[in-house]
Structure 1
Amino acid sequence: MMSGLEAAFTEASSPSWAQRVRAGGELSSFVDVPEAAEALVGLLLDVEDTAVTRQTAEALTRVGTVAAVRLIALAVAEADDNQADWLQTGVHDALVEADGVLNIAAACANLARDREDAVRRAAADIAAWADGTRR
């Protein structure tokens, strides 16, 4: 029998968008596992269905840790304009809860010192999205 993590890895590469969405939610609890992080970035940049991008971004934003927000930043750095719009929408959807904004702002502040320039720039974008949610 497959573990939950193994099942989520299988779903992450499924042809079914619904299974990929489910995988994004399940894998978001494992952002510190390198294989899960890699799969999550792939789901954030899903080229088949924007629902996968949006809902994976929402799940990671709800986690709100530096590691989770860093994965969103990595995706923002690679995203085309359409993907970036859906990443922003997913972040916004999660931030409609007031306490989420504080976690994301703190994570972005931490990422402002990241070793990768692309992550620093993308974290600034995410911080601006979070700031816009408060208004």
Structure 2
Amino acid sequence: MMSGLEAALAEASSPSWSQRARAGCGLASFVDVPEAAEALAGLLLDAEDTAVTRRTAEALARVGTVAAVRLIARAVAEADDNHADWLQTGVQDALVGPDRVPDVAAVCGRLAHHPEEAVRRGASEIRAWSDDASRYCPRSTGV
């Protein structure tokens, strides 16, 4: 029987966009595992279907760790305009959704000093998206 990680890795190379999208969601929690991170990087810039890009970006933004946001930032730096739009949509879906997500803007602030220029540039873009999302859809503070 395959573990969740093994099953998601297998789905990451599926010809089916829906299975690849499910793999992106499933692998996000394994972002610190090198094989998962490699597969996630490919799914963020999926050549066949931007729905995979969107769902993978959303899942990683919901994880919200430095490793997760760093993968999105690298993808943003490499993305063409079409993929960048869907990366932004995925990140903003996570930020304005009903569930609380980690402070992606704060993580981007930490990545502003990353040694890789591409990560710094991508993190700057994501931080702007985060600022836009909070400006137009402020979260309730529960007060």
Q: Aligned pair 1:65/2:65, yes or no?
A: yes
Deviation track 1:5-31 (CA, whole Å, cap 9, x = no partner) reads: 111111000000010011001100011
Q: Aligned pair 1:115/2:110, yes or no?
A: no
Which aligned pairs between 1:1-135 and structure 2 lie closer than 5 A? 1-97=1-97, 99-100=100-101, 103-135=103-135
Deviation track 1:77-100 (CA, whole Å, cap 9, x = no partner) reads: 111000000000000100004843
| Distance of 1:128 and 1:113 partners within structure 2 | 16
Choose between structure 1 and 2: higher helix proportion: 1
Q: What residue ranges of structure 1 are gaps of 5+ in the alignment? A: none
Deviation of the 1:2 alpha carbon: 1.4
| Distance of 1:45 and 1:97 partners within structure 2 | 23
Q: What residue ranges of structure 2 are gaps of 5+ in the alignment? A: 136-143
| Distance of 1:2 and 1:53 partners within structure 2 | 25
Deviation track 1:73-123 (CA, whole Å, cap 9, x = no partner) reads: 0111111000000000000100004843x6101110110011101100110
Query: TM-score if structure 1 supplies the norm length?
Result: 0.96
Give the 4+ runs in structure 1 shifted more than 2 A: 97-100
Q: What SS does the corresponding residue of 1:134 show, helix, strand or coil?
A: helix
| Distance of 1:131 and 1:12 partners within structure 2 | 31
Deviation track 1:48-91 (CA, whole Å, cap 9, x = no partner) reads: 01100000000000001111000000111111000000000000
- Cα RMSD for the two superposed structures: 1.1
Q: How many residues align?
A: 134
Bigger Rg, which one? 2
In structure 2, give the amino acid aligned to 1:5.
L
| Distance of 2:42 and 2:81 partners within structure 1 | 16
| Distance of 2:109 and 2:12 partners within structure 1 | 30
